[in-house]
Amino acid sequence: NAPQAPGPSLTQATPTFDASSNAVVLYFNSTNGALLNNTYSYDIKDRFSLLDGSGNAILDASGRTINSSSLINNVTVDASSNRVSVSLSTYNLTSYAGQNLTLTYTDKTSANDTSGVIEFTSGADASGFSTTFSYPGQAPRFYSSQYDASANAVLLNFDSYTNSPLLNKSTNTNEL
C-alpha cells in the first residue's frame, strides 16, 4: 500500500450552511472524477469532528466536552453534485448560535483506502481538511397556544431547546 497523492479538495473556502436541513454542505472539485455513491454515512461520520471557531472542543452548559458523535447526526454523499452534507444536532449546539464553528475531516490513512473515506471515481481519497463556517442556529419553534381570559391575550409557547431566544424589545403593542 503505497501512499496516495493528495486527494481532491474543497472547491470553496467557506462551506454552505443549509438551515432547512441544519447541515454543512461541502462541494469538492471534480478533477478526480465524481464522488462515489458507495460511501455510507456510518462509514465516514467518525472521520468528522466539530470544534468551536478557535479550534477548541464544543462544550455543554456545564463546561463538559461534547463528543463529535453527539454533534453530528449523519453524513450524506451526493455523487451527482460532488457534495457532502454533514447534518448537525441543533440541541447540542444551542449556545453556539451566531458563532463560527470549525468542521474537520481526517483521511483514514495515507494509503488509497476503499472504504470509510470520501472517495472519488478515480480511486483518490479526499485529503483531510479543516473549514470554518458561521452557524446561525435555529429559530424557536412554535408548539402551542392558549387564551388567557384575565389578560384578554393569546399566549404563544415556543420550544426551549433552540438556540435563538425570542427578544422582548418591541415598543409597539401591535408587534410580537
Judged against a pLDDT cut of 80, whether residue 174 lies above it is answered with: no
- Tens-digit pLDDT profile for residues 18-30: 888 889 999 887 6
Split at pLDDT 50, 70, 90, the class of 101 is: very high
Q: What CA–CA distance (Å, rounded) separates 96 from 139? A: 13
What mean pLDDT value characterizes the chain?
A: 78
Q: How many CA atoms lie within 13 A of 71 on its CB side?
A: 25
- Tens-digit pLDDT profile for residues 112-130: 777 788 888 887 888 888 8
Higher-confidence residue: 141 or 92?
92
H-run or E-run covering 69:
helix 68-71
- Tens-digit pLDDT profile for residues 80-96: 888 899 999 877 887 88
Determine the pLDDT at residue 83: 87
Q: What CA–CA distance (Å, rounded) separates 12 from 29? A: 9
Split at pLDDT 50, 70, 90, the class of 156 is: confident
Determine the pLDDT at residue 129: 87
Determine the pLDDT at residue 39: 58
Nearest Cα to Cα of residue 104 among 58, 55, 66: 55
Q: How many CA atoms lie within 13 A of 131 on its CB side?
A: 22
- Global confidence as pTM: 0.73
Q: What CA–CA distance (Å, rounded) separates 132 from 91? A: 20
